[in-house]
Structure 1
Amino acid sequence: MARLYDNRKRILVTGGAGFIGSHLIDRLLEQGHDVLCIDNLFTGTKRNIDQFHNHSRFEFMRHDVTFPLYVEVDEIYNLACPASPVHYQHDPVQTTKTSVHGAINVLGLAKRLGCKVFQASTSEVYGDPVVHPQPEEYWGNVNPIGPRSCYDEGKRCAETLFFDYHRQHGLEIKVARIFNTYGPRMHPADGRVVSNFIMQALRDEPISIFGDGSQTRSFCYVDDLVEGLLRLMATGPEITGPVNLGNPAEFTIKELAEKAIEMTGSKSDIVYRELPRDDPKQRQPDIALARRTLDWQPAVDLEKGLGWTIDYFKALLPELADSR
């Protein structure tokens, strides 16, 4: 695969032991860079980075981004933050601090080093949208005091900080709004719909749909997402984002549940539960900006990506059964 960088860099990835972070590290090492992975292992796991530990260009540091960090690097990817409702609502104050204090700390580091810095933002900044699909110009419909606001408003504030550092200090920033992403290395108990449905289907347990299943989501395979992150980071200073990165193919939650049952050969039934407060009814990215500025669009369809993800969770089942 062609390299997107002209020379070898030392790159910091915060949240690097997480689902997306570990796949990003895969690609950065493949491209010949040195990678410093920072993670406090709150939701990240050593399993995701075990394969890197004997790699001569990989280094791991256990650290919480809510505290300042003093390292020497050429670029920074800030991915540190719990991303599933189960995890980010477990300690909502810490979730907000991770987004806000974490952004302040990585921006301060980038300012001192004079280096490019990337922020992993989220489609959750759009809240429960009244515009569909969601373009980057849409300001969102977010409840600032609801149970999801620790994540939604934390990420919105992080975007504010990134653009203020850019305007005030001339810092070169890149901001991506990441839509629902799935694939191997997802946490099996993270509460997100893809991992939930696959794990329930593999165990022949009832598949829980919250609401009537008519709400929609758009699912992007992790390799496609990482390709978008790399392309955004490789752009010149004139492109800051925010840029939507996600798959515009839209599915209802019920359709996803039925596909999980079909592809696993499960005997699971579907059961319906009360829809959580502030849960978005629709989520679909407008990726016209990514197509135009990054020449990027997803290549992996849902059925193919789900197949690879199901294979990953199948391989985990014996280990998970032993730990129950």
Structure 2
Amino acid sequence: MFRERTRILVTGGAGFLGSFLCERLLAQGCHVICADNYFTGSRDNIAHLLDNPYFEVIRHDVTIPLYVEVDRIFNLACPASPIHYQFDPVQTTKTSVHGAINMLGLAKRTKARILQASTSEVYGDPAVHPQREEYWGNVNPIGPRACYDEGKRCAETLFFDYHRQHGVAIKVIRIFNTYGPRMHPRDGRVVSNFIIQALAGEPITLYGSGEQTRSFCYVDDLIDGMIASWIPARSMSAP
């Protein structure tokens, strides 16, 4: 998929998804730089990669510019569960917005392709089901989840404007509920809640009427999709 020793920056690389992405990219022969501030990520997630000579780790917050030389950028940095992103909502918005600006600036300078890990939350509380990409959503801009919903929506805006205005080659993927090893056991999301309660012999919590639907994706399949999105025939190349 990538040329040998392609230099790739993964922000949020010590997180649940980021650690699996780093692992896969290294297996493909890439030189991987993992940047993470460890707010929700953990060095335990990447401990098995630290001896790889083509793996670098930088403790860094994406709200601050980062100066590295790379060919590709995967921007995964942002707490994703309500428990974590509502802990410091102002910082969550900064991570999405300032982080996008800083990573897009880096991509512009280095002429790197950049992927934004967006979210199904950009659809808000959708009035249609299932959501299609052309559906613009139904988002409450002042609610307790807005720091994440609107932060990610603004990040998407920035990505497309950097593409239109500066010719930056972008990818934006909207991730739905993903589960697998290395999930934070107390992140408050559906699958982890079910597993923790089942292991403890507790009643399994169903919110609301219990008739709502969810789209679940196993982490390996998501990483497959992330990497496959760089297939040249489907890339959004700079003009």
TM-score (norm 2): 0.96
Tell whether 2:134 aligns with 1:140: no
Q: CA RMSD in A?
A: 1.2
Give unmatched runs, 5+ long, in structure 2: none
Q: In structure 2, the residue corresponding to 1:233 is in which secondary structure?
A: coil
Post-superposition offset of 1:238:
4.8
Partner in structure 2 of residue 207 of structure 1: 204
Report the CA distance between 1:212 and its aligned residue.
2.3
Query: Whole-Å Cα distance in 2 between the matches of residues 20 and 235 of structure 1?
Result: 23
Distance of 1:202 and 1:234 partners within structure 2: 41
- What pairs with 1:176-215 in structure 2 (closer than 5 Å)? 176-215=173-212
Partner residue of 2:39?
Answer: 42
Does 1:68 pair with 2:69?
no
Distance 1:105 1:124, change over 3 A: same
Aligned to 1:284: none
Partner Cα distance (2:174, 2:38) in 1: 23
Aligned equivalents of 1:211, 1:151: Cα separation in 2 = 22
Does residue 124 in structure 1 map to residue 121 in structure 2? Answer: yes
User: What amino acid maps onto 1:40 in structure 2?
Assistant: N
| Bigger Cα displacement from structure 2, 126-135 vs 73-82 | 126-135
Q: State how 1:6-21 maps to structure 2 within 5 Å.
A: 6-21=3-18
Q: Which whole-Å CA distance do the structure 2 matches of 1:159 and 1:235 have between them?
A: 21
Distance 1:232 1:148 in 2: 28
Q: Could you tell me how far 1:237 is from its partner in structure 2?
A: 7.2
SS of aligned partner of 1:77: strand
- Distance in 2, Cα, partners of 1:32 & 1:5: 8
CA contact 2:104–2:159 (8 Å) conserved in 1: yes
Q: How many residues align?
A: 237
Q: Which amino acid aligns with 1:11?
A: I
Structure 1 counterpart of 2:70, one-letter code: V
* CA deviation vs aligned residue, 1:25-51 (integer Å, no higher than 9, x gap): 111001000100000000001111010
Indicate yes or no: 2:60 matched with 1:54.
no
Pair 1:237–1:171, CA change in 2 (3 A): farther
Give the aligned partner of residue 217 of structure 1.
214
The 8 Å contact of residues 125 and 156 in structure 1, kept in 2 or not, is answered as: yes
1:168 and 1:40 map into 2 onto residues whose CA distance is 30
| Partner amino acid, structure 2, of 1:134 | Q
Q: For residues 1-324 of structure 1, what are the structure 2 equivalents within 5 Å?
A: 4-236=1-233, 238-239=235-236
Instruction: Measure the CA separation in 1 of the matches of 2:110 and 2:167.
Output: 13
Map Cα deviations across residues 252-289 of structure 1 (whole Å, 9 max, x no partner): xxxxxxxxxxxxxxxxxxxxxxxxxxxxxxxxxxxxxx
Secondary structure at the counterpart of residue 174 of structure 2: strand
TM superposition score normalised by structure 1: 0.71
Shift of 1:236: 4.8
CA contact (8 A) 1:159 1:175 kept: yes
For 1:262, the equivalent position in structure 2 comes to: none
SS at match of 1:216: coil
1:5: Cα distance to partner? 1.9
Which deviates further from its counterpart, 5-14 or 136-145? 5-14
C-alpha contact 2:2 2:30 (8 A) present in aligned 1:
no
Amino acid in structure 2 at the alignment position of 1:207: I
| Residues 98, 136 of structure 1: alpha-carbon distance in 2 compared, 3 angstrom cutoff | same
Return the letter of the residue paired with 1:16.
G
On the 8 A contact 1:35/1:59 being kept in 2, the answer is yes
